Structure 1
Amino acid sequence: MTRKERVALVSLFASIGLTAAKLIVGLLIGSLALVTDALHSGTDAIATLVTFLAVRFADRPADDDHPYGHGKFEDLAALGEGTLLLVLAGGVAVEAWNRFVGAAAPPSVNFIAFAVLGVEILINLWRARALHKAAVETGSRALAADAMHFLSDVASSTIVIVGFVATIYGADWADSVTAAAIALFIGWLGLRMIRRTADELTDRVSPTIGRTLRRLLQDLPGVVAIDQLRVRAVGPRHFVDISAGVPRTFSLSETAAVKRAMAATISAEIADSEATVSLRPMPIDDESLRERVFLAASRERIPVHHITIQHLGDRLSVSLDCEVDGAMPLGEAHEVASRLEAAIRAEIGAEIEVETHLEPLYPDLIPGAKLPDDRVAAYAAVLKEAAEQNGVSDIHNVRVREIDEGVFVAFHCRFPPALSAAEVHRRADAVERGARIAFPEIRRIVSHPEPLRE
């Protein structure tokens, strides 16, 4: 048995006991106000029974029939309790009016009536505090409604005591008026409970929650726009559905990081919450033409490199290397290139000039064999000579391997740290060309530039 169930069960027994005591005394002394108060406690007993059953259902986990859980059962229980209060208030108001007009005899107030009411007030204050504490800790609206019932019992019992005192001092109408006052109080409680429960059943939430979440999420890095934000409460749990836009240039890992940040922000703002985040890629104002070319290629799943963009008066020219399988027939490779060119024109504009160069891709694993040291030394000597002619320093870590289609060469070299990347590439490229002239069998050559050491 959960804590909510234990609290609800103890409240049920307390309601039954207090109802019986007040009803017996009220009938014995002929007090409509006390009988009304007893009936009020009786509705509390019924409501507590409903609460006990509701929290048992509400604590069940989500299933296929109730994907958001069973928390709404507590709202239904609270709605039933509010309806009971309205029915009781109406009946008591009618009886109080009849007694007032019919000048009914005043009740025979005695010490027992005061004692029962005093004990009942103390017990109800204790139970209301326990119920309220449990409701806050568990987020149970049914327990909160039950706590309100017990507090209303305290208020109505206090009104009865005031009526008894007035009766003792000769106010024969006090019992009827007291009963009517209790009826008004009970009716107000019922209407208030029904209104709050209706808000829960219709998924009404405070606009402040949405505004706060939207502001916090909009401030997160990577969030371009908030398209839709919906919050609904089911029992103590909040479900947040959000759709937002992120830059379409983001990688999958960057998009996933934004999604995690949004979910963490929502959890930090609403403790017991579950967020469903949907992200869509969207264009942003500061996208470069190069990024747009990469996006067009990525949508077609075609790897590209060496993109060059030229301004030709009122139009643009884009040239790039389109990577295809080295074993692919030319007819298929040309279709791949044509598809890429069409995607780039669709992204940037039909009037753009697009030139593609087919670049064969190497297999992931290429068998290679290290050449003898004397041959490696010959390659290194040529590289050093070309480096001296082109302002490149410290050729080192030279590696030469034989592959199926020729020779693979890799080397490291150094440049001044302040030299631009474009100039570094130009000089390194010149060294590579010199090596290819000396050794036409070079199939692939890779240079790794490093800054000069002080």
Structure 2
Amino acid sequence: MNSSKIAFLSVMSNSLLVVLKIVVGVFTGSVAVISEGIHSSLDLAASLIAFVSVRISKKPADKIHRYGHGKVENISGTIETLLIFVAGIWIIYECIHKLMNPEPIKLPFLGILVMLFGAVINFIVSKIVHKTAKETKSMAMKSNALHLLTDVYTSLGVAISLFLVNLTGWYVLDPIIGIVLAIYIIVEAYKLMKESFPPLLDASLSEDEERVILHIINSHKQGFIEYHNFRTRRSGPSEWIDFHLVVPSYYNIHKAHDLCDRIEQDILRKFPDSEVLIHPEPESERKETSHVEDYT
């Protein structure tokens, strides 16, 4: 099943849960259940964004977008993260209002049943989405998987709160647990923002990823003198890697090109979705360069 179909599966499951949670929340009078309905509606919006962005990011490069459309996924991930922030703040606001004006909850077991059902559905779908995100290195899908997984935890939390309210009659437990869950949502959103936003500013790949790339380059050091201007960045599911490679002045164009090809192929084995650009320079030209950045 491809990523577009997985994203659509998330849209359908969230649509069902939004309707169930909001209807049951209004009927029972539980602010925690209504908050979960709002949370799921943001999950639905996130799933729609992921569905659209995954389809757009797969488009090949064109005359306007020479580097492809991969960053659409990073934009999507950032928007989804902002939606999680909004959800967390809104839930806290509603819970504080309910904390100051506690009200009895009607048929709490109906709310518990819906929460448990939603938790099971979202757990299954989140695992499927997360697996696809890892396979495709899709930031939009990864963000969507986090949305779904946080919904699992919050749904379970609401189910527990409704059970305790029914057991003790302490109606303030409903908004208190809602606030705790909202804080958890905001913290998770912050973590995701740190991953989805930097690529929009062309931040480098992680230190571990760059270390792997540099090790591959150095494994061919018998064929070149040095390299410099090493740069990396991420665009959606793809890595972009470029650097200048200084080769002996007696190399002809074919030998230099063959060396670059071998290095590129080794990098592609580790990073199959990457775009690698190697600029070969003769030793004599390198000696005239005033600014040196040596990564060897």
Per the normalisation by structure 1, the TM-score is 0.60
Cα distance in 1 for partners of 2:277, 2:206 equals 19
Show the 5 A alignment for 1:368-383.
none
Contact 1:217–1:223 (8 Å) recurs in 2: no
Show the 5 A alignment for 1:155-234.
155-170=153-168, 171-204=170-203, 205-220=205-220, 221-234=222-235
Cα distance in 1 for partners of 2:132, 2:269 equals 23
Match of 2:19 in 1: 20
Contact 1:43–1:85 (8 Å) recurs in 2: yes
Show the 5 A alignment for 1:68-87.
68-87=67-86
Match of 2:265 in 1: 264
Cα distance in 2 for partners of 1:6, 1:212 equals 33
Which one is further off, 26-35 or 183-192? 183-192
Cα distance in 2 for partners of 1:243, 1:112 equals 65
Contact 1:167–1:174 (8 Å) recurs in 2: yes
> Cα distance, 1:44 vs. partner?
0.5
Please list every run of 5 or more consecutive structure 2 residues that lacks an aligned counterpart in the other structure: 286-296
Contact 1:61–1:69 (8 Å) recurs in 2: yes
Show the 5 A alignment for 1:286-435.
none
Cα distance in 1 for partners of 2:121, 2:27 equals 22
> Cα distance, 1:139 vs. partner?
2.0
1:106 matched to 2:109? The reply is no
Which among 152, 155, 176 is matched to residue 154 of structure 1?
Answer: 152
Cα distance in 2 for partners of 1:40, 1:219 equals 50
Cα distance in 2 for partners of 1:269, 1:12 equals 33
CA shift in 2, pair 1:25/1:272, >3 Å: same
Give the structure with the higher percent strand.
1
Contact 1:26–1:34 (8 Å) recurs in 2: yes
Which aligned runs of 4 or more in structure 1 are off by greater than 3 angstroms? none
Please state whether the residue corresponding to 1:25 is helix, strand or coil: helix
Match of 2:140 in 1: 142
Cα distance in 2 for partners of 1:101, 1:114 equals 23
Give the structure with the higher percent helix.
2
Q: Deviations over 1:260-302 (max 9, x none)?
A: 2221222123222121111111159xxxxxxxxxxxxxxxxxx
Cα distance in 1 for partners of 2:3, 2:129 equals 9
- How much is the aligned-residue C-alpha RMSD, in angstroms? 1.7
Q: Deviations over 1:238-281 (max 9, x none)?
A: 12111010111223332222112221222123222121111111
Contact 1:85–1:186 (8 Å) recurs in 2: yes
Please state whether the residue corresponding to 2:227 is helix, strand or coil: strand
Cα distance in 2 for partners of 1:261, 1:270 equals 14
Q: Deviations over 1:131-170 (max 9, x none)?
A: 1122122221111111111111100001101211220222
Cα distance in 2 for partners of 1:142, 1:228 equals 30
Please state whether the residue corresponding to 2:202 is helix, strand or coil: coil
Which one is further off, 78-87 or 194-203? 194-203
Please list every run of 5 or more consecutive structure 1 residues that lacks an aligned counterpart in the other structure: 285-454
Please state whether the residue corresponding to 1:244 is helix, strand or coil: strand
Match of 2:43 in 1: 44
Q: Deviations over 1:368-397 (max 9, x none)?
A: xxxxxxxxxxxxxxxxxxxxxxxxxxxxxx
Cα distance in 1 for partners of 2:174, 2:210 equals 49
Cα distance in 2 for partners of 1:27, 1:99 equals 14
Match of 2:250 in 1: 249
Please state whether the residue corresponding to 2:276 is helix, strand or coil: strand
> Cα distance, 1:123 vs. partner?
0.9
CA shift in 2, pair 1:215/1:130, >3 Å: closer
Contact 2:240–2:275 (8 Å) recurs in 1: yes
Please state whether the residue corresponding to 1:169 is helix, strand or coil: helix
The structure with the largest alpha-carbon Rg is 1
Match of 1:361 in 2: none
Cα distance in 1 for partners of 2:2, 2:212 equals 33
Cα distance in 2 for partners of 1:53, 1:283 equals 50
Cα distance in 2 for partners of 1:13, 1:257 equals 50
Contact 1:238–1:273 (8 Å) recurs in 2: yes
Contact 2:112–2:163 (8 Å) recurs in 1: no
Contact 2:129–2:145 (8 Å) recurs in 1: yes
